[in-house]
Structure 1
Amino acid sequence: MTDDDHDHTLRAQAVAAVQRLDALGLNRGSTGNLSVRAGTAAGGGAGSFWITPTGTPPEDIAPDSFVLLDDAGTVLQGAWAPSTEWPFHRAIYRARPDLHAVVHMHSPHATALACLRRGLPPFHYMVAVAGGDSVPCTPYHLFGTDALSQAVGAAFADRNACLMANHGLVAAGATLAQAMKVAQEVEALCGIYLQTLAVGEPVLLSRQEMAAVIERFKSYGRARRAA
């Protein structure tokens, strides 16, 4: 596979991911956005990434719809304007060189919790899927602003997901598949947490208990079966 083929495959996978989020009801219409780091064939440099165009419904997005931005936010390729929320994608990539895909959703449960301006505490061990013992909620900032991107970048210093107050959810991963997994798991956890809050405050796991989970997750699902 050539570099050009690899880069086109990345965008084709991103199209499928955008359409899957819509089919699952995790984004609706043109809400949310998604990006992947660009391959070397794109020619945008180490900080470049492909992002969904602004205001475009998922059924109209194709691999060539994605917009290539460099680290300065300059459009290098693409006929459409990039998502207005590209600054926080860049902030995540700058903060975390190990992350290669970012998914932003206005999913029902995560958005509801974000509107309460509450993050996810360690009420369930699967909270560790986001890389720590909690999923923080950033303060409210207007979408597309530098203030929001700074808040999100800070949240991702040691996490792979965060909520944005009165807005939604952002998740990232080393691959697009991992970013999608984190996003969907955090959305499900937000739903469970909201259900527990309807009854009372849940019992939280301790820092030590969550540390043991995080350590176990480092090798979970990766061990080969002995021959």
Structure 2
Amino acid sequence: MEIEEEFLRYVRLLYERGHLTLLSGNVSVRAGNRVLVTPTSRPKPFLTVDDLVWIDLEGRVIKGRLMPTSEWRMHVAVYKRRGDVNAVVHTHDVLPIILADKLDSSLLSEAEIYLGSEIAIVEYFQPGTVELAESVAKALERNNVAILKRHGVVAVGRDLAEAVNRVETLVDLAKAVFYKQLLEL
């Protein structure tokens, strides 16, 4: 399967499972010194190979007719700091954002295995900015997931399967914390 086709399968999966909305959230995968990213302001479930954008590690479009996601700086900054990362997924999942300060991966063994012992929290910065990109990249130097206050979630992985799994695991952890709090009322 071509990289673009596999990429689109994961983007659609994230949309179908409610992690991406029609226009928000973004995904990338690194192939050498090139990065395949979702385009900005395009409906995720209807993307085609022709809609995808390839950029270099400076953010210059090298293939594609559309503009890359406005969060391209964040994706590139992570790749520059993490040689072991080949996929970045940025979602706007609500529950992890709301419960950011209460999440403890030791609550679920699966979360601890896939996320690690620490979940990074990034203070709010305007989306699409250099400040946000650098803050996220710094937070992910030693972590595999970060929650961006008032904004979203970023998960990284060796490949898309690992990054997507980390998003889903983080959301499951947030649900577990939410249900636990409800039961303790």
Same fold (TM over 0.5): yes
The runs of at least 4 aligned residues of structure 1 exceeding 6 Å deviation read none
Distance 2:86 2:102 in 1: 24
Distance 2:14 2:136 in 1: 21
Distance 1:113 1:55 in 2: 28
Question: TM-score of the superposition, structure 2-length normalised?
Answer: 0.91
Q: Equivalent residue for 2:41?
A: 55
Distance 1:175 1:122 in 2: 22
Q: 1:96 aligns with which of 82, 91, 94?
A: 82
Deviations 1:17-71 (A, max 9, x none): 1111111112221110000012xxxxxxx43201000011123211221111111
Tell whether 2:177 aligns with 1:193: yes
Distance 1:96 1:130 in 2: 17
Distance 1:164 1:82 in 2: 21
Question: TM-score of the superposition, structure 1-length normalised?
Answer: 0.75
Q: 2:126 aligns with which of 134, 139, 142?
A: 142
Question: Do the aligned residues in 2 keep the contact of 1:119 with 1:137 (CA within 8 Å)?
Answer: no
Question: Do the aligned residues in 1 keep the contact of 2:115 with 2:169 (CA within 8 Å)?
Answer: no
1:171/1:93 Cα in 2 relative to 1: closer, same or farther (>3 Å)? same
Q: Equivalent residue for 2:61?
A: 75
Letter in 1 for 2:103: L
Letter in 2 for 1:29: L
Distance 1:83 1:155 in 2: 21
Q: 2:17 aligns with which of 1, 21, 24?
A: 24
Q: Equivalent residue for 2:104?
A: 121
Q: Equivalent residue for 1:213?
A: none
Tell whether 2:7 aligns with 1:14: yes
Q: CA deviation at 1:195?
A: 2.4
Distance 1:172 1:129 in 2: 14
Deviations 1:122-174 (A, max 9, x none): 44233324443121210000000011111110111111111100011111110
Looking at both structures, which has the greater relative contact order when contacts are Cα pairs under 8 Å and sequence separation is at least 6? 2
1:47/1:129 Cα in 2 relative to 1: closer, same or farther (>3 Å)? farther
In structure 1, stretches of 5+ residues that fail to align are 1-5, 39-45, 201-227
Letter in 1 for 2:160: L
* Rg larger for: 1
Letter in 1 for 2:121: C
Q: CA deviation at 1:121?
A: 2.3
Give the root-mean-square deviation of aligned CA atoms. Answer: 1.9
Distance 1:79 1:36 in 2: 18
Tell whether 2:104 aligns with 1:111: no
Count of matched residue pairs: 184
Question: Do the aligned residues in 2 keep the contact of 1:127 with 1:134 (CA within 8 Å)?
Answer: no
Distance 2:118 2:179 in 1: 18
Distance 1:52 1:122 in 2: 29
Identity %: 28
